[in-house]
Structure 1
């Protein structure tokens, strides 16, 4: 099968348009159309339904597009390994993690990574959905449980617990709860139990709701919960990694917390030698070590 025709087919299938594909390939629309027709003739099948608004893949076209998509991802992996054979760290690195960890812990620290590697381009994908690393939906993932996918290198980074926090202003206005039953007099801010979240957080919320809390504010991610707590709306269930960067927050009911949630970094085995992966992994490990030191300094008694 003609590789050049497959490359043109993949561009057309991705763009859904001969014109847009031609622009990306620097070919005329007629040249792209001729190549598609030639490919269809060689396969003795129709790959696209042609409509006024664009092109739609036929069933046979979908099968071929799935194959070219897989080929494209494998070529990207090979390209990444070739580029990383040099000493410099540069190019695109696709990082995926959950909304809360990505927006509250990772994103505020990325300036340090960029200052060290200014030619690195981070594509940060905040997803509760677990992306397929072996199929190169992302290069590296940070997840709140050990990845189950095969052919991954994984490293346990830290553990997280969900705890209760409120702002100074809220507690001055509404008082501080001293027992779970006192939470009946307060608004609980949390992820809804039907939201995608770690099971430890969901279990903690269910337990708290068993104490007849009548006022509740549900938000579908921890970033939103944090904003509500900072604006004095109630007592929020939040991961403990936010504490160092949010000095206005006060921990409430210190005996109440979730089970430990492990945090793992993972990447495909085929990227073991990637210098971009190594640079990112080392950066995250260093930041976690500094994070721990800051927490210990905050919790240790004054001399």
Structure 2
């Protein structure tokens, strides 16, 4: 199959227009159209439904577009590996993790990474959806559970627990609960039980909900929970890695906490030799060591 025709087909399918694809490829509309028709003749099928508003992929076109999209991601990965220098760290690195861990732990420490590698360009993608690393949706992931895919290099970084925290101002005004039954006099701040979150945190929330909680504020990520807690709205369910960066938070009912949650760093096997990945991995491991040391001292 003609690689050039596949490249042009992919651009047309991605743009949904011969004209826009031609602009991207620096080709005329007629040249793009000829290449697409040539590919259709080679495959003996129509790849697009053509109408006045543009082009829509046929079922056969969708199948081919899925293949060219996967191929494009693989080529991008190969190009990234080729660009990795023997001695320098530069270029784009796409990192994915959860909104809570990314905003509350990782992002505040990123300045140290850029001090070491000023030419690195990090694309930090924060979302609860687990991105597909082998399909090149991201280069590196930090996940609050062990990755299930077999073709990933993984490193266990640390464990965290979900605990109860409040601000000194809130406690001064409302008192400090001494047992779970006292929560009837307090506002609980947490994620919704049905929201996408760490299983251990969910189990803790379900346990708390069994008590007579009259006032409740739910937020769809830990960053929002933290903002509500530091602004004196109530007692929040938060990960214990916050204690280093928010030392004023008061731990409530120390015996009430979730089970341990493992934190893993993972990346595709094909990026094992990547200088960019190695630099990021080294940075995270150094920060974990520093984090653990400060916890022991506190």
TM-score by length of 1: 0.95
Distance 2:74 2:113 in 1: 27
Q: Which moved more, 1:212-221 or 1:24-33?
A: 24-33
- Report the counterpart of residue 54 of structure 1 in structure 2: 54
CA deviation digits over 1:71-117, x for unaligned, max 9?
Answer: 11111121122112532111111111111101111111111111211
- Report the counterpart of residue 73 of structure 1 in structure 2: 73
- Report the counterpart of residue 249 of structure 1 in structure 2: 249
> For residues 26-65 of structure 1, what are the structure 2 equivalents within 5 Å?
26-65=26-65
- 1:178 equivalent in alignment to 2:170: no
Q: Which runs of 5+ in 2 are unaligned?
A: none
- Report the counterpart of residue 260 of structure 2 in structure 1: 260
- Report the counterpart of residue 161 of structure 1 in structure 2: 161
- Report the counterpart of residue 148 of structure 2 in structure 1: 148
Q: Which runs of 5+ in 1 are unaligned?
A: none
- Report the counterpart of residue 3 of structure 2 in structure 1: 3
Change in Cα spacing, 1:294 to 1:23, as seen in structure 2 (3 Å) is: farther
- 1:192 equivalent in alignment to 2:192: yes
- Report the counterpart of residue 230 of structure 2 in structure 1: 230
- Report the counterpart of residue 94 of structure 2 in structure 1: 94
Shift of 1:242: 1.2
Distance 1:42 1:198 in 2: 50
Shift of 1:52: 3.1
Shift of 1:295: 2.2
Distance 1:51 1:283 in 2: 52
Aligned length: 298
User: SS of the counterpart of 1:165?
Assistant: strand
CA deviation digits over 1:17-53, x for unaligned, max 9?
Answer: 2222222212222222221122112222111112333
- 1:219 equivalent in alignment to 2:219: yes
User: SS of the counterpart of 1:245?
Assistant: coil
Distance 1:29 1:281 in 2: 46
Distance 2:44 2:24 in 1: 27
Distance 2:262 2:34 in 1: 54
Change in Cα spacing, 1:288 to 1:26, as seen in structure 2 (3 Å) is: same
Distance 2:24 2:87 in 1: 31
TM-score by length of 2: 0.97
Distance 2:58 2:176 in 1: 63
Shift of 1:190: 0.4
> For residues 11-22 of structure 1, what are the structure 2 equivalents within 5 Å?
11-22=11-22
- Report the counterpart of residue 271 of structure 1 in structure 2: 271
User: SS of the counterpart of 2:244?
Assistant: helix
User: SS of the counterpart of 1:96?
Assistant: strand
- 1:82 equivalent in alignment to 2:75: no
Distance 2:20 2:115 in 1: 36
User: SS of the counterpart of 1:67?
Assistant: helix
